[in-house]
Amino acid sequence: MILFGKRMQAVEQVARYKKEKGLPVFDAKREAEILSTCEQRIKDPAYVESYRDFIKQLMDLSKQYQKKVLSEDVVAYPGVEGAFSHMAALSLFPDAQLAHYQTFPQVVMAVEEGAAKYGVLPFENSYTGEVGEVLDLLHEHDVSIVDTLALPIDQNLLGIKGASIKDIKQIYSHQQGLSQCAQFLSGRAVELIPYPNTALAAKYVSACQDPHKGAIASKATADYYDLALLAENINTAATNTTRFIVISKTPVKEGNRFAMMVTIKHETGALAKVIELIARYDYNMENIKSRSLKDRPWEYYFLIEVVGSLKEEKANRLMQELKAYCEQFRLIGSYARKDV
């Protein structure tokens, strides 16, 4: 145990050296050299293969721990600089190392595999509702919600400098961005083109330098990609707000909300019994959402958000009783509400 502890301390030092020098965790050439050197120490040929496997397992363990050490201050978000997710990540983690990924699944995988300690994802919008893809990812992956942030969303029409609104024939944005600006877009002779992310859409328009292309995105994005503001504050709802979640592999108990993801038994009144049970424990069920199970047509799973703390003993009793009505039950997070 003492030798193992010393080895892992050495691994930490190696990880920090690699970070300082910008070196990768895995160096195939160096690993092959070490394995070859180790094999030469074994005099009995019968043991060589087993010893090689043993050393390789130690090295794999070392790489896993190095990734964990290096990811402690890494926060993943979808999109690029200027995206609303980027702004949310900056607000939540002003001193962290931010890493951008193109898609929501890539952010979740980065957290699940240890490349990032946290991930920031849009969860629901006050005007267009939940982000279904993110709900499905929470259902499918072993991550937990540990924090939230409600961020006011200010959508704008951006174009290249010198362009005007009447020049725009194609507008690019995330589907949520297009939906949030439905009133502004209604009746305009433009082609609406969904894009993976609002800031990526702005980046694309900037790269094209085509006066007929526009993007719906934040004002900050215009600065990042040297675009002009053609129309400001075009979201339909004046109080347009998106709630972002922070996900992690390590669940927490802090917070004044907790969330459960359940698949309820196909029995008469099962959902009603779940709702009644939550009320009986004197909890306010603040939110319930249903999503279809991809492999079971016309069946659904539910996300249930409850006002309360996991540190209360009755929360544990509630969850134990709820399991009697559920085919599947998973606590997916404990967190506090945060606004900016």
pLDDT confidence of residue 73: 82
| pLDDT score for 8 | 77
pLDDT recorded at residue 69: 66
Pairing status of strand 74-78 against strand 118-125: parallel
Tell me what percent of the chain is helix, strand and coil, each rounded to the nearest 5.
40, 30, 30
In a structure prediction context, what are the per-residue pLDDT tens digits for the chain, which is 340 residues long? 677 777 778 877 776 777 666 677 677 888 888 878 888 888 788 877 888 888 888 888 887 777 666 667 899 999 888 889 999 999 999 988 899 998 999 999 999 988 899 999 999 988 788 888 999 999 999 999 999 999 999 999 999 999 999 999 999 999 989 999 999 999 999 999 999 889 999 999 999 999 999 999 999 899 999 999 999 999 998 888 999 999 999 999 999 999 999 999 888 888 999 999 999 999 999 999 999 888 788 888 999 999 999 999 999 999 999 999 999 999 999 999 765 4
Report d(CA 88, CA 241) in Å as an integer.
12
Distance of alpha carbon 157 from alpha carbon 113, whole angstroms: 37
The confidence score (pLDDT) of residue 33 equals 82
Give the DSSP per-residue string, 36-50. Answer: HHHHTT--SHHHHHH
Q: What is the CA radius of gyration of the chain?
A: 25
What's the pTM? Answer: 0.76
pLDDT of residue 157: 97
In DSSP terms, which residues pair with 121 in a beta bridge? Answer: 245
